[in-house]
Amino acid sequence: MLMMTSYAQEKKMFTPEDASYNNREVYAKAKSFKWLGSSDKFVFNEDNEIRFRSPGEKSSHTLLTLDMINSIAKGNGVGEFKRMPNITWTTENGGYFFRMGEDGNITLNTLNIKDKSIKNINSYPANAENMTLDAKTMRIAYTIGNDLYIANGGKQIRITENPEHVIAGQSVHRNEFAIDGGIFWSPDGSKLAYYLMDESMVTDYPLVDITTRIATEKPIKYPMAGMTSHIVKLHVYDIAEGTDVVMQTGEPEEHYLTAITWNNDNKNIYIGILNRGQDTLNFNEYDALSGEFKQTIFTDIDEQYVEPQGPAHFLPGSTTEFVWLAQRDGYYHLWLHNTKTLNARQIEKGDYVVTSFNGFDGKGNAYYTSTEVSPLQRHFYKVSIKNGKKVKITKKHGTHSVLPSKSGRYFIDNYTSIDVPRAAEIVDANGRFIDYLYQAENPIKDYNIGVTEIDSIEAEDGQLLYTRIIKPYNFDENKKYPVIVYVYGGPHAQLITDTWLAGAGIYLNYLAQEGFIVFTVDNRGSADRGEAFEQIIHRQCGQMEMHDQMTGIEYLKTKPYVDADRIGSDGWSYGGFMSTSLKINYPETFKVSVAGGPVINWKYYEIMYGERYMDTPQENPEGYELTALDNKTDKLEGKLLIIHCSTDPTVVWQNSLSFLEQAIHNQKQMDYFVYPGHDHNVYGMDRAHLITKITEYFKDNL
């Protein structure tokens, strides 16, 4: 059991503003360290000054001050700097940065301290979005509206002139399948691949803007499960030739284009073609100059679903070998593929999940982060691509994010753990400690905060489930306390981690401060536990998750301080679906429930995510009927508060309105609250209102 302890003294109390990110003082302060170009020296900012030192060196040195950069700026006819720019250091003497220009455009500038020069080498409009820089050529691709542009030496090139509902250069497929952006520079910067998405065939979904005197309809394109999807193509624009070629990805067009990867030869490009059923992925090679299909490198098939985790990663200098992250033996691991022989070989293996690929060292090794030590922790490794021999770089328990130096001799290790808010240190290639860099002060040392305990229980199939209990700061072991079960439960999330506050954040500690035991269990279906653990929810979302939550309830009931007659639940989005499901299916257990932005019926959810986990309503009518909550309002008992945002583009308002309508028809009383103009959650200054609303509801009823 992991435990985080604080002692009750005369201290401050958290407020709803603290719990809503509106008071930065209660969050750990970060400090950034970066390598100085390709050297083994590192740089950091200190009081508007940039300093550097070598690992193990006792004192740091001034690299650049505000006065120095203003002196350089004056000598180059550049306007004065009010603060230090955010510089990307490409050499020991300089790098590049962005700045607002006098003409209102964003300028790209290079700085050379040795030559005392600042040059404006490119610019793009301030209203541009999706800006993507090619650091070799200093060309910038960006979008304005639905169109794609390239800034080349300050000259603006318009690539597309799209009609309404045709969009270039942006993320597609609603950011599923590990898609990050819609712009992909070739390695030499001579060509630009980009997504072109046609949504014209997708049904409009009405959102309403109430800020106008007569409310205005603001429709979005929202393909629901089983309905017509959008069509995506991948284009390649050749800057020198001015040509635009479409990759011939074939039929049917209702498929997903993922894992866009350039070959190091700048001539071939790869696309993961995922069928709409999401059970087959073909990783295909295309001629980037003609768009012609060349070959399928590999095919991955899974009875439930295939979920690619990002692009392929070609070995440095290679045009034939790349590393791919795949879940072929039940866990995500690194695989080496060859585009000529089509052979594939697993690089490392074990009952753990590789959560990210982190690059190469140029010496035959790959870097990755995984759950090898514990599902609660993230550690950084170096592995030989040739023989699988590995070195664990990070040693201290917790969650690590690591930045290697160019030489691979040193690593900046940024980490957090249940007892460390933020810290940074340098280790060597064998993971030996070299240098202390920074540790954030405990930002809540002056606040009343209770004990947090992490434990584990067994699911009905024997798999380990992690639990977290947060006790009130003035906890009395002789009293019985009401419990709030905070739940998410869905894919792509892990609530309990070896990070600061055990992943709970200020909000849950605020609820505990108000006199509740706050309990969480990461049920089967949540992230980074392997295929069997995650895919058990397929075609029956919420069912196994509820079983595991009830296993957690039985564990809670063994605690002498838990009042089993006063248990509530709280969750948002998938967590809202889970909180409502628990209330409907186990009314004898959950006296009070709060559900924010809940999925009520998966037929109302979007196609990519919804069909991955539930298939279509036509293919899985029993599953949709089983998991629908709007057809079960006759079972509603006790107190339920549903909260929804009026312009939610993710879980559309229709979900909770359908539940409310059926509750009325069944003469069931419930509470309902709307946040006008907010999207999928409530942020900004209004979030304190949301937290107060939820807390007061539990206080009044639990």
The residues that are catalytic are: 573, 648, 680
Compute the C-alpha angle 611/613/615, nearest 5°. 40
- Give the Cα separation of 594 and 580 in Å (integer): 8
CB-neighbour burial class of residue 73 (10 A; exposed 0-12, middle 13-18, buried 19+) = middle
Residue 686 makes CB contacts below 8 A (sequence gap 6+) with 675, 678
Mark 46-64 as b/e (b = at least 16 C-beta within 10 Å). eeebbbbbebeeeebeebb
Instruction: Read off φ and ψ for residue 582, nearest 5 degrees.
Output: -65, -40
- Give the Cα separation of 442 and 422 in Å (integer): 9
- DSSP state, 356? E
- Give the Cα separation of 262 and 540 in Å (integer): 38
Alpha-carbon separation of residue 640 from 46, 49, 678 (angstroms): 50, 54, 21
* Tokens 């798999």 -> residue: 463
Residue 58 makes CB contacts below 8 A (sequence gap 6+) with none
CB neighbours (10 Å) of residue 634? 12
- Give the Cα separation of 28 and 19 in Å (integer): 14
Strand partners for 149: 142, 158
CB-neighbour burial class of residue 274 (10 A; exposed 0-12, middle 13-18, buried 19+) = buried
What does the block give as tokens for 682?
A: 């409530």
Q: Helix (H, G, I), strand (E, B), or coil: what is residue 49?
A: strand
Pick from 226, 234, 206: which is nearest to 218 by CA? 206
